[in-house]
Structure 1
Amino acid sequence: MPRSGQAAAPAKPERTFFGLSTGRAVVLGVVICALALTLAVPMRTYLSQRAEADRLASEQQDLEQELLELERQQEQIDDPAWIAAQARERLGLVRPGETPYKVQLPGDYKPPEEEAPPPPPSTGAWHSDLWQRLAGPLPTTEPERGTLPEAPVVPAPVPEEPGVPTG
């Protein structure tokens, strides 16, 4: 009750959100989130099953095409004329009384392939074998430890004699 002499305090305006009070807006938001979460799992399952069904349908079509192709090949293999043609073409067979001819066109000649030389004998260590393949055979004699290789011998120059022409 307002006291005497004081004016009545204006009432605090209530906050609204989309025309609803704040409490009601929160409750509405919670209900919408719950509905969205409730529908999300079945929707995801539905979409994944649809994708799987589409994949299986295309796989079934591919398998049916392959089956038709295999049935056509089976019919071809059962045909005696096809078998005779393949025997002539692949194996070079002829019927009795026929004279076989083999025509060689100029561009069809291939020289016989030369066999590769046998690999050198293994020395036992993999790095030695690798080096032998890359750089040629290893030297058969190894210098003893602690000795230096011999230097090449160069003959000393012959002193010139005075008065003798050099040639």
Structure 2
Amino acid sequence: MAKRPQLTGRAAILAVVVCAIAMSLAYPVREYISLRRSIAEHRAEKARVEAEKQMLLERDRQSDDPNWIKKTAKERLHYCGPGEKCYVVMDQQQIKEPAAVQQPPAPPPWYQTLWESVEAADKGTGRRAVTGKESVGQ
């Protein structure tokens, strides 16, 4: 009895066809998965934008309320209404820090410096600028 070969011509052709089908489906399947991921990312972005939109709409509705406006002005701007006594309580650490830091004295304004230079020139006590021509002639 003759032994049949394990790989026949039909089996080889079938294997080539299966490989060709698998190769032809690989790219579309990869694109499908990529598009599904992209769709999921866009849906998440849309949900985030919608939540932000709702928050902004709620803040817009709050800004129409006069009580909210007064409360916000008092909190942020330390606004004090007529006839009210308002106090600002400072933290002890905030009070001590600026006193410990010695700032250098501010420079005099430009016009004072200019006037002092004019007076010094009038009295002859200021330094004289030496140019190249004057130093050669002396």
Q: TM-score range by the shorter chain?
A: 0.5 to 0.7
The residue aligned with 1:14 is 4
**Higher share in helix:** 2
CA distance in 2, matches of 1:97, 1:108: 29
Q: How does 1:87-126 map to 2 (within 5 A)?
A: 87-104=73-90, 109-112=95-98, 114-115=101-102
Matched, 1:62 2:48: yes
CA distance in 1, matches of 2:103, 2:95: 21
Instruction: From the superposition, tell whether residues 110 and 85 of structure 1 become closer, same or farther in structure 2 (CA, over 3 Å).
Output: farther
Shift of 1:33: 0.7
Name which of 23, 27, 32 aligns with 1:41: 27
Shift of 1:117: 5.3
Q: Which 5+ residue runs of structure 1 have no aligned equivalent?
A: 1-10, 119-167
The residue aligned with 1:53 is 39
Larger radius of gyration: 1
Query: In structure 1, what residue type is equivalent to 2:48?
Result: D
CA distance in 2, matches of 1:58, 1:102: 44
Query: In structure 1, what residue type is equivalent to 2:53?
Result: L
Q: Deviations over 1:77-126 (max 9, x none)?
A: 222111111222222222222233344565663431625659xxxxxxxx
CA distance in 2, matches of 1:76, 1:52: 36
Single out whichever of 108-117 and 35-44 deviates more from structure 2: 108-117
The residue aligned with 1:160 is none
TM-score of the superposed pair, with normalisation by structure 2: 0.62
Q: Which 5+ residue runs of structure 2 have no aligned equivalent?
A: 106-138
Instruction: From the superposition, tell whether residues 104 and 48 of structure 1 become closer, same or farther in structure 2 (CA, over 3 Å).
Output: closer
Where relative contact order (Cα < 8 A, 6+ residues apart) is larger, the structure is: 2
The count of residues paired between Structure 1 and Structure 2 equals 104
CA RMSD, Structure 1 to Structure 2 (Å): 2.6
Single out whichever of 25-34 and 72-81 deviates more from structure 2: 72-81
CA distance in 2, matches of 1:50, 1:37: 21
Single out whichever of 28-37 and 102-111 deviates more from structure 2: 102-111
Instruction: From the superposition, tell whether residues 76 and 62 of structure 1 become closer, same or farther in structure 2 (CA, over 3 Å).
Output: same
CA distance in 2, matches of 1:94, 1:117: 35
TM-score of the superposed pair, with normalisation by structure 1: 0.53
